[in-house]
Amino acid sequence: MVKLDSYCYNQKLQRVFYQEKEIELGPKALQLIKLLCKNKNITLEIDEIITALWDEPKSKQTLRSLIHRIRQMTSSELIQNVNKLGYKIGLKCT
């Protein structure tokens, strides 16, 4: 099992690291992680996230697919679902 405290997001570099090794994520994934880190310990609503990430309306499924891809490349606990509210980040943001 992967420890969540082994992950961190470096805000200056805008990159995610696992045990000090960079995880290569796409620009939209990094944008989402940056947004969630800026609001650490705050649950962001799904519509709020979609508006912040895309200039045009997108479905909730588009956001869920992005989060699914991030979780596949990192940890299932990196982006936490807050039931019926939205999402928050579960990693260390430095």
| CA angle in degrees (0–180, nearest 5) for 61-33-87 | 50
> Mean pLDDT per 10-residue run, the chain (94 residues)?
72 92 96 94 95 94 97 92 92 76
Q: What is the pLDDT of residue 1?
A: 41
| DSSP secondary structure, 7-60, as one string | EEEETTTTEEEETTEEE---HHHHHHHHHHHHTTT-PEEHHHHHHHH-SS---H
Residue type, 32: L
Q: What is the pLDDT of residue 4?
A: 64
Domain ranges across the chain: 4-93
Task: Write down the pTM of the prediction.
Answer: 0.89
CATH code for the part of the protein at 4-93 = 1.10.10.10
Q: What is the pLDDT of residue 2?
A: 44
